[in-house]
Each structure stands twice: as structure tokens, then as C-alpha cells.
């Protein structure tokens, strides 16, 4: 792998300015990955996920979920911002499209680009796929899952990997079933990996291990999810 380089990626959408954080090999990456983090944005956990992808020879940009320099420090700060993402899903798609366009210009021509979304970032990544995105693949990990909104298409050109917990209270099994039905009806190339005894935010060590909590870390499911991500990446970007 060539030497790692770090940089910021600026882009604009929705009358806002955004700043992504890039890392990974500076030359000849296997793929480019747009990482859409959970509510905390460009946090230590997002950087850890990016480091994992960089070790797989991917150039990574951690997308800016909110724009205009907003960086949440605790859940009380971020509630209205996440509601904006949920209530104006087209804005998330526009921001991600701008990020992908700017990121693509930094990569060697022909480099495959994937999106990997966690929690609310997963909702945005899936909606971007529904918008007709020209990318190599979409991965959702412990995502805030939603079926297509009003006016959204359901056909997704890229293959999609869903990694979800069966005890997720944010995206419960009935919602997963609805998304499965949507993917089937649209003829999408989608695969679902479900981890039993696994809650929302299973990738986040800070979530704790209280099985009665809404957010619960599962080191076993987190490790298995990374193995599934690596296998999917090698399949869609087999350089």
C-alpha cells in the first residue's frame, strides 16, 4: 500500500458548506469509500472505521453530515440536526452527491466508489442509492433504516449490503422486513446479514453492554460486520 495521506475535502449543497476528512493511500487505492458516520459525525469511532478501510487499501472520506462547521459534542446538541436529516431526506442525498462528486475528482480515473453508512448516515446512503447513484456498492451497518419516501425511486443500480441486529430498537425487525420487501419488489441486488442478540450501535464501544439499553455494543457482531464489509469490498472492487 502506498503512503497514507490526510486532507480535507470541501463541497457545497443545500446552501451550506461541508468539510469531509480524507485518509488512506495517496496513490492507487483499491477503492474510494465515502463513510457516513452516526450522529456524532467525524468522531474517534468514525476515524477508527476509516482506519480499518485504509488498511484494506481504500481511500476514505468521512462525510460531513451537517455542514456549516457543526460538530456535535453530546446527544442534546444533535437532536434537531438528525431530525432535519430525517424530515428532509432529499437534503442528505444532495449533500452526499456533492461529496461523491468532489471525492471522485481526487481519485485516479476509474476508481470504484462505495458508500458505507452507520445509523443516520446509513439512511442517507440508502436514499442516495435510490436516487440513481452511479457507485460500485452501498454498505449499511446498524443503519437507521427507512423505506423509500414519497417521490423516491426504489430501484438501486449498485449492490447493497445490510448489516443489522435483530434486537435493534431503532430499526426493528418489522422495518427490516419492509425494506427486504422493497428491495425484492424493485429487483435490487441486496443481501441482508442479521446478527442475533444484537442491538443498535453494535459497532460502538461507547454504547456499553447493558442488554436492556437502546444502544448496546457487541464486539462479536462488530468483528463479524467488519469481515462482511471486507468480503463485500473485495467482491465489488477486486483490484
25-44 per-position pLDDT tens digit? 988 999 999 999 998 889 99
- Which tens digits make up the pLDDT trace of 71-129? 887 777 788 888 889 999 999 999 999 999 999 999 999 999 999 999 999 999 999 99
- pLDDT at 73 (0 to 100): 75
pLDDT of 2 > 70? The answer is: no
- What range defines the domain where residue 51 resides? 7-236
pLDDT of 1 > 60? The answer is: no
Which CATH number do you get for residue 107? 3.40.50.1820
pLDDT of 4 > 80? The answer is: no
Q: At what angle do helices 75-87 and 120-130 cross, to 10 degrees?
A: 20
- pLDDT at 239 (0 to 100): 75
Cα separation, 209 vs 117, in Å, equals 23
φ, ψ for residue 46 (rounded to 5)? -60, -40
* Average pLDDT for the chain: 94
In a domain, 1, yes or no: no
DSSP count for the chain of H helices, then E strands = 6, 8
Work out how many domains the chain is built from and give that number.
1
In a domain, 23, yes or no: yes
- What's the pTM? 0.95
Residue 158: which of 203, 185, 191, 205 has the closest Cα?
191
In a domain, 40, yes or no: yes
What 3-state DSSP class applies to 13? strand
pLDDT of 3 > 60? The answer is: no
In a domain, 106, yes or no: yes
Cα separation, 149 vs 229, in Å, equals 27
Q: For residue 7, give Cα distances in angstroms to 15, 27, 44, 64, 183.
A: 23, 14, 16, 14, 36
In a domain, 2, yes or no: no
Residue 150: which of 135, 165, 130 has the closest Cα?
130
Amino acid at each position: 500500500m502506498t503512503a497514507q495521506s490526510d486532507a480535507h475535502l470541501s463541497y457545497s449543497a443545500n446552501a451550506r458548506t461541508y468539510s469531509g476528512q480524507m485518509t488512506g493511500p495517496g496513490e492507487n487505492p483499491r477503492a474510494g469509500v465515502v463513510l457516513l458516520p452516526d450522529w456524532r459525525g467525524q468522531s474517534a469511532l468514525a476515524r477508527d472505521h476509516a482506519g480499518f478501510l485504509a488498511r484494506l487499501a481504500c481511500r476514505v472520506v468521512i462525510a460531513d453530515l451537517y455542514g456549516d462547521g457543526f460538530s456535535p459534542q453530546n446527544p442534546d446538541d444533535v437532536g434537531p440536526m438528525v431530525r432535519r436529516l430525517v424530515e428532509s431526506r432529499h437534503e442528505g442525498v444532495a449533500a452526499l452527491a456533492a461529496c461523491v462528486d468532489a471525492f471522485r475528482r481526487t481519485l485516479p480515473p476509474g476508481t470504484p466508489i462505495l458508500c458505507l453508512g452507520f445509523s443516520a448516515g446509513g439512511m442517507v446512503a440508502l436514499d442516495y442509492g435510490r436516487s440513481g447513484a452511479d457507485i460500485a456498492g452501498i454498505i449499511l451497518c446498524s443503519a437507521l433504516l427507512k423505506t423509500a419516501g414519497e417521490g423516491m425511486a426504489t430501484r438501486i443500480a449498485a449492490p447493497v449490503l445490510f448489516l443489522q441486529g435483530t434486537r435493534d430498537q431503532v430499526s426493528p425487525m418489522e422495518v427490516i422486513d419492509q425494506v427486504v420487501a422493497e428491495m425484492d419488489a424493485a429487483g435490487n441486488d441486496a443481501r441482508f446479514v442479521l446478527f442475533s442478540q444484537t442491538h443498535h450501535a453494535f459497532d460502538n464501544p461507547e454504547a456499553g453492554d447493558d442488554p436492556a439499553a437502546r444502544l448496546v455494543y457487541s464486539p462479536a457482531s462488530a468483528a463479524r460486520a467488519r469481515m462482511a464489509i471486507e468480503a463485500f469490498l473485495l467482491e465489488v472492487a477486486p483490484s
